[in-house]
Structure 1
Amino acid sequence: MRTLLHRLGHTSAAHPWRVLLGWVIALAVAAGVASAYGGQTQENWDVPGARAQQGVELLRRHGENAANADARVVVHRDQGVLTDASGRAALADLTARLGRMPHAASVSPPRLSADGDTALLSVEYDAPVTHRDLMGKGEPLVEAVEPTRDAGLQVELNGTMAEQSAEPMKGTGELIGIAAALLVLVLAFGSVVAAGLPIGAAVVGLVLGGFGTTLLAGAMDVSPSAPMIGTMVGLGVGIDYALLLVVRFAEHLREGVEVRHAAGLATATAGRSVVFAASTVLVSLLGLGLAGLPTYSAFGLVTAISVAAVALVSLTLVPALCRLGGRRILARAERRATRRPRRPGREPLTARWAQRVGRRPLPWALGAAVVMLALAAPVVDMRTWPSDMSVHAEGTTLREGYDLVADEFGPGANGAMLAVVDHAAVVSPRAAVAATVRALESDDRIAVVAPPVTSRDGELTLVSAEPVFGPADARVSDLVRDVRADLPAGVDLTGLTPMYEDISQMLADRLWVVIAFVVGMSFLLLTMMFRSVLVPLKAALMNLLSISAAYGVLTVVFQWGWGAQLLGLDHSTPVSSWMPILLFAILFGLSMDYEVFLLGRIREEYDGGADARAAVVRGLAATGRVISCAAAIMVAVFFGFATETDPVVKQLGLGMGVAVALDATVVRMVLVPATMSLLGDLNWWMPRWLDRVLPRIRHAEEPAAGQSDGRPAEPELVRV
């Protein structure tokens, strides 16, 4: 691999303008192919395997709109009631306008509250909310209610149509990330060229990844939210990969190495870390496909495309840009200095820190472990639940509508359950319907049971029920389980609340499958790379510790409500069911990025003759600045996404930012040097039988910098 990477880097540096032209052509071709064969993003909210999904499919087969998009319009009058002449006229006009909306199949008669000052109108559409004519197109709904608002009545929107089109992403995360990256890199390296090069390379990779996402959308359903995740991760790792190569290139320049040779050496060494780091990220992302949800598969594939694109750009475009930048990569003071190798000066801060930790590794390791375990401890109390409309900020129409419904009609009106009696699946439809109604009415946790309604084809009977508590209440799980146990055979329970319970349970069960796959595959990759068993095992344990700490912080902030106001939330809420698997897959790969960067340099020093402790000190000294800068950039990117209005995006941004910050500080700066100092040469122990089985890459000595032709001798690739 090192031979191939060296040739790639040296060739790119030798012909920089050809490489730039090649990338321009490649992007143009990718744009043309994406335009010709690509598609548009498309949500798929089906949950294969969920029991509630069975009821949805049954409704669809019989043409019932209860399985389609819906909108709930809440009308409220602060002074007076809606039962007078003006109120009835306003509701009649509103009902007519709602009925004229595109794809509106039916509008229910206004349901009045007990005091008559609030009315609830439900709209059923003739297509699922993910239909292209409906997804993200809530304007007709807003236009239909505006005249009623203009008449002085309070009108709030709820339901799937209102939720999916409200609070669009502002793009804050990307802007904050790029600005923070430029500032951090300029301050750290003192060169605008060195700062701009990684950002430019990452942007090129994101553009290429965007074309790949468009192509993927032509072959499968890709959630419109997936490109946001891909951009978030791709921007972070793209800057990391390019930065690692630029820093190594600058090191060789300081040693007096010729520019093209320096680019080749940087690609051969740092490029190898890029390849393995990207591989671990890709393995983690592909583990999302094991979650069993189409949305997760789309997230994983889109983000994997972005990571692969930025890695490819880093290995080919960055060496060419380094050649064009030349010594301008270095700070101005360094460029003015002699080109001869610098005399040894004071050791870097990270080297002195590693020595301090290495002198007393056990107390440092125990202290860091206590900190991480303390942050992770709240995870034992973490409750995951799909986010409903109660999590939105006060003042938004979704939250106002939710609160009005809960206050006027009861909390359970926000999450009704629907029992579907399939006449073909029961012996006596009439008896089955009667038994269903009795089962629902006999449960004191159910407040309202609506009269049975027969489907248009006469093959189904639908019975709606509203619990006494809201859809995010902790008692929902027991209620859904008990009701299903009491319903007659052949009756499916579906609706918002049962679907939430099924999603939560499915994702909790699949989490362990994803963890086993990602950890196992990453362990195998790192074992092949570092020829060690303990190093990959330690890396996996530390990554799991970082992710657990992130889960703990999310529990404290969102579920316990400590500091939630700082994120724009006025009350506590469960951690979204989407978070554990999504965070784990992304964070495990990102944490492995830093692990590969650091351990790759430590192994390089160890193979070069340094003892185990000295190798740790030198490796940390060489990579500490780049890891710290890369982590600072990623944390800025992720915390930028925590400023978005969507509560799920807030959780994602905060969780990822916290995990990366802990991983780059407590883990990389304390736990890694402490544990590696404790283990010594045992770090690199590997059973002989495993060493014989796994492919092996042997590194030859780096060629001398002063070869007359500027081309280094090639490392040897050996498979044992």
Structure 2
Amino acid sequence: MSRLLYRLGRAAALRPWRFIVVWLALVAAVAGFAGVAGGALHDDYTLAGTGSQRATDLLRARFPALSGADARVVVHAKSGTVDRAGLAAAAGELRKLPHVSEVGPAQPSRDGATALLTVRYSVPVTDLAPGETLDLLRSATGGLKAAGYQVEFGGQVPENVTAPGGVAEAIGIAAALVILLLAFGSVVAAGLPLAVALAGLGAGVSGITLVAAVTDVATTAPTLATMVGLGVGIDYALFILTRHREGLAAGLDVPEAAGRAIATAGMSVLFAGFTVLLALCGLVLSRVPVFMTMGFTTGLVVAATVLSALTLLPAVLGLAGRRVLRRRDRAAGAAITVESPRVRRWAGHVGRHPWPWLLAASVLMLALAAPALGMRTWPSDASSEPASNTVRQAYDIVADAYGPGANGPLLVAVDLERTDPGVLPGLGERLARTHGVAAVAPPLTSPGGDAAVITVTPDYGPQDARVTGLVDRIRADALPPGAEITGLTATYVDLSRMLSDRLWPVIGVVVATSFVMLMIVFRSLVAPLKAAVMNLLSIGAAYGVLTAVFQWGWGAESLGLPHSVPVSSFILLLLFAVLFGVSMDYEVFLLSRVREEWLLHGDARGSVTSGLAATGRVISSAALIMVAVFLGFAADPGLVIKQMGVGLAVAVALDATVVRLVLVPATMSLLGRANWWLPGPLARVLPDIDLHGGGAPAGASAGAPAGAAGREHEPSRA
């Protein structure tokens, strides 16, 4: 494989315009095709096998007027009461809107200062264009606003409208460019990783639009894919560029330096990207369609950035020539200091005193992870939106006028083919007596008489921790056979439990597959096991910091939130899958250099020190870029992306400092030669993969140092 990559990199550097034109044509073609044949983004929250999904399916089949999306028009008079005639006129206009199946009677508050119009659609929210639908709602209620009333909008449709993006991406790109300029001291060298990453990103994001034409793709998928793709794309290009500059400083010509950089660092990029893809594939086990689409669309962008790093980057390196070096370093024979003496001294110090540093770093990571023991996961609702947002204002007005539970009513769907209609009055009474229920509406019967719906208003808001117990009590004590409970709050309960239950299978599969891949690459059982443990520590610490910042409220307001909020149910799975793959990137880059030194010299402790010294600067720069990119996305208005940005930034920062500079040298110094232990029978069946592009000396086996080469066969090139 390394020989193939060498030829690819050298050919691209020798004929740069061919590769550049192909890439420009590819990006333009995919973008153009996406503009013509691309699909719209839709969230699919089907929760197969849950009570809320069974109730929703029953309503869709027998009571379609109550099964689709809903929107709420909240009308508030700052003085006096709301005019009923104006409400009736607005209801008439709302009934004329596309896909509207019903507009309920206006519900005035006790003081008459507020009125609520519930608009029901015949299709789910995923079949509507939320922005256009909200504009139509505003137009239909324009008469109320003209009369001086405050008109706000809530419910599924308005809450599904996403704010325009671009700010987070711009912050991340600007920060990355500054860091690259400081790291390389050359505008050309700083711009190349960014340009290559953006090319891969452009092709990948356009591909997401094409995928949306044939299947449902989550509305947050492009933002998540952009966040991850931008971070890893710049990092992949950075690692290859650094190796290329080393080759130029060593006296190689440009095509040769590019070919060797792709054969060595490019090989690591290939396996690092494959590790990210493996981790993202774990989201398939969630069995929640919205998560599955987030996984494969992010994987599509990561694959595109890997391809751009391996094919487009050597072409632009060939075009740039020696301009990737600082002006003062371009003279023949000028040396570039790749190794960091400071990191070498630090790694040597930790290696000589491993136990104190190992214990101190472990205690720190476990202390940061401790708050996660009290983590509460729950999907975000309108109360988490900024105070200026219409859905937040609608939420607050409804809570003040009707009680907090009116923002999250529960729907009890009854199958009258399985249950006698005569039980409905008694069911309503049992529901009203259930602790935590504020009100129960009279049952509504479907046109065919084969289904009924009872609306239950809780005492608690949708985000209140007590609402889970209420849903459980209704299911256990009040519902007869053939009845199920649904509504947004009940769906939240089922979604949170489903995602929590699926977390451990996802963790198990992702860790196991990554372990097997690293075992094959590094021909060791100990090194992959250590890498998995270190990554789990980073993820645990990220979970703990998220709990403290968002759930405890230690930093919620500084991030633009009105108050503390639970950690989003989406975060557990998403953060684990993405972060495990991203953290493994650094593990592959670091261990590949450590193993290269081990194969050359056979010095277990010295190879760790040399590997850290050689990669310290580039990994620190790469991590700083990723942290800057991820923190930029913390400014995104969407809570899931905001929490993902903070979690990823914290974990990468810890991974590049505490893990790479303390835990790795401490544990590897303690383990010594055992780091590269592999049982003989397993060594004979595993393929030999040259991760160093010829960096290993002739005659050295893939698992033994150079000094042992005479006792082993020469590894084949994979």
* Aligned mate of 1:571, from 549, 556, 563: 563
How far residue 484 of structure 1 moved from its aligned partner, in angstroms, is 0.9
What is the 5 A alignment of 1:14-53?
A: 14-31=14-31, 34=34, 38-53=38-53
Residues 381 and 462 in structure 2, CA contact (< 8 A), matched pair in contact too: yes
How far residue 89 of structure 1 moved from its aligned partner, in angstroms, is 2.8
Match of 1:683 in 2: 675
Match of 2:94 in 1: 98
The amino acid that maps onto 1:397 is T
CA–CA separation in structure 1 for the residues paired with 2:340 and 2:602? 17
Match of 1:150 in 2: 146
SS in 2 for 1:680: helix
**Per-residue CA distance 1:625-644 (angstroms, 9 max, x = gap):** 11111111111111111112
Residues 210 and 306 in structure 1, CA contact (< 8 A), matched pair in contact too: yes
CA–CA separation in structure 1 for the residues paired with 2:135 and 2:215? 27
CA–CA separation in structure 1 for the residues paired with 2:335 and 2:402? 78
How far residue 142 of structure 1 moved from its aligned partner, in angstroms, is 2.0
The amino acid that maps onto 2:716 is V
Match of 1:394 in 2: 387
Check 1:36–1:105 CA distance in 2 against 1; reply closer, same or farther (3 A cut): closer
Is 2:178 the counterpart of 1:187? Answer: no
Match of 2:75 in 1: 75
CA–CA separation in structure 2 for the residues paired with 1:195 and 1:70? 49
Match of 2:104 in 1: 108
**Per-residue CA distance 1:469-524 (angstroms, 9 max, x = gap):** 11111112222112112211111111112111000100000011111111111111
CA–CA separation in structure 1 for the residues paired with 2:110 and 2:130? 33
Match of 1:707 in 2: none
How far residue 719 of structure 1 moved from its aligned partner, in angstroms, is 8.0
What is the 5 A alignment of 1:675-714?
A: 675-698=667-690, 701-702=694-695
SS in 1 for 2:601: coil
* Aligned mate of 2:498, from 502, 506, 510: 506
How far residue 406 of structure 1 moved from its aligned partner, in angstroms, is 1.4
How far residue 224 of structure 1 moved from its aligned partner, in angstroms, is 2.6
Residues 106 and 124 in structure 1, CA contact (< 8 A), matched pair in contact too: yes
Q: TM-score, normalised by structure 1?
A: 0.94
Match of 1:370 in 2: 363
Residues 129 and 135 in structure 1, CA contact (< 8 A), matched pair in contact too: no
The amino acid that maps onto 1:371 is L
SS in 1 for 2:435: coil
The amino acid that maps onto 1:230 is A
What is the 5 A alignment of 1:141-180?
A: 141-165=137-161, 167-180=162-175
Unaligned runs of 5+ in 2: 698-712
The amino acid that maps onto 1:476 is V
Is 2:348 the counterpart of 1:350? Answer: no
How far residue 677 of structure 1 moved from its aligned partner, in angstroms, is 1.4
Residues 435 and 488 in structure 1, CA contact (< 8 A), matched pair in contact too: no
Check 1:440–1:552 CA distance in 2 against 1; reply closer, same or farther (3 A cut): same
Residues 391 and 569 in structure 1, CA contact (< 8 A), matched pair in contact too: yes
Check 1:142–1:352 CA distance in 2 against 1; reply closer, same or farther (3 A cut): farther
SS in 1 for 2:127: coil
CA–CA separation in structure 2 for the residues paired with 1:550 and 1:318? 33
Match of 2:574 in 1: 582
Residues 559 and 573 in structure 1, CA contact (< 8 A), matched pair in contact too: yes
Match of 1:712 in 2: none
How far residue 34 of structure 1 moved from its aligned partner, in angstroms, is 4.5
Match of 1:438 in 2: 429
What is the 5 A alignment of 1:423-434?
A: 423-426=416-419, 428-431=420-423, 433-434=424-425
Q: TM-score, normalised by structure 2?
A: 0.94
The amino acid that maps onto 2:185 is G
SS in 2 for 1:425: coil
SS in 2 for 1:578: helix
Residues 45 and 130 in structure 1, CA contact (< 8 A), matched pair in contact too: no
Match of 2:700 in 1: none
Is 2:439 the counterpart of 1:448? Answer: yes
Residues 417 and 450 in structure 2, CA contact (< 8 A), matched pair in contact too: yes
Q: Which stretch has the larger CA shift, 186-195 or 26-35?
A: 26-35
Match of 1:464 in 2: 455
What is the 5 A alignment of 1:125-140?
A: 125-134=121-130, 137-140=133-136
What is the 5 A alignment of 1:164-313?
A: 164-165=160-161, 167-313=162-308
Residues 168 and 633 in structure 2, CA contact (< 8 A), matched pair in contact too: yes
Match of 1:529 in 2: 521
Q: Which stretch has the larger CA shift, 184-193 or 11-20?
A: 11-20
How far residue 577 of structure 1 moved from its aligned partner, in angstroms, is 0.5
The amino acid that maps onto 2:212 is A
Check 1:462–1:696 CA distance in 2 against 1; reply closer, same or farther (3 A cut): same
How far residue 145 of structure 1 moved from its aligned partner, in angstroms, is 3.0
Match of 2:659 in 1: 667
SS in 2 for 1:271: helix
CA–CA separation in structure 1 for the residues paired with 2:717 and 2:312? 29
Is 2:85 the counterpart of 1:89? Answer: yes
CA–CA separation in structure 1 for the residues paired with 2:106 and 2:209? 43
SS in 2 for 1:130: helix
The amino acid that maps onto 1:612 is A
How far residue 353 of structure 1 moved from its aligned partner, in angstroms, is 2.0
How far residue 65 of structure 1 moved from its aligned partner, in angstroms, is 2.1
Is 2:540 the counterpart of 1:548? Answer: yes
The amino acid that maps onto 2:26 is A
The amino acid that maps onto 1:267 is I
Match of 1:708 in 2: none
The amino acid that maps onto 1:295 is V
Check 1:135–1:429 CA distance in 2 against 1; reply closer, same or farther (3 A cut): farther
SS in 1 for 2:395: helix
The amino acid that maps onto 1:374 is A
Check 1:45–1:204 CA distance in 2 against 1; reply closer, same or farther (3 A cut): same
Is 2:605 the counterpart of 1:613? Answer: yes
Q: Which stretch has the larger CA shift, 298-307 or 693-702?
A: 693-702
How far residue 195 of structure 1 moved from its aligned partner, in angstroms, is 0.6
Match of 2:322 in 1: 327
Check 1:528–1:355 CA distance in 2 against 1; reply closer, same or farther (3 A cut): same
CA–CA separation in structure 2 for the residues paired with 1:136 and 1:224? 15
How far residue 437 of structure 1 moved from its aligned partner, in angstroms, is 1.5
Q: Which stretch has the larger CA shift, 621-630 or 243-252?
A: 621-630
Residues 260 and 693 in structure 2, CA contact (< 8 A), matched pair in contact too: no
Is 2:708 the counterpart of 1:718? Answer: no
Q: Which stretch has the larger CA shift, 356-365 or 528-537?
A: 356-365
Count of paired positions: 701
Check 1:136–1:528 CA distance in 2 against 1; reply closer, same or farther (3 A cut): farther
**Per-residue CA distance 1:251-271 (angstroms, 9 max, x = gap):** 111111222111111111101
SS in 1 for 2:98: coil
Check 1:627–1:347 CA distance in 2 against 1; reply closer, same or farther (3 A cut): closer
* Aligned mate of 1:597, from 589, 597, 608: 589
Is 2:471 the counterpart of 1:480? Answer: yes
SS in 1 for 2:509: helix
How far residue 29 of structure 1 moved from its aligned partner, in angstroms, is 4.5
CA–CA separation in structure 2 for the residues paired with 1:469 and 1:30? 48
How far residue 416 of structure 1 moved from its aligned partner, in angstroms, is 1.0
Check 1:182–1:498 CA distance in 2 against 1; reply closer, same or farther (3 A cut): same
CA–CA separation in structure 1 for the residues paired with 2:38 and 2:641? 27
Residues 416 and 464 in structure 1, CA contact (< 8 A), matched pair in contact too: yes
Q: Which stretch has the larger CA shift, 240-249 or 613-622?
A: 613-622
Is 2:643 the counterpart of 1:651? Answer: yes
Q: Percent identity, aligned pairs only?
A: 52
Is 2:484 the counterpart of 1:492? Answer: yes
CA–CA separation in structure 2 for the residues paired with 1:516 and 1:30? 36
CA–CA separation in structure 2 for the residues paired with 1:644 and 1:531? 42
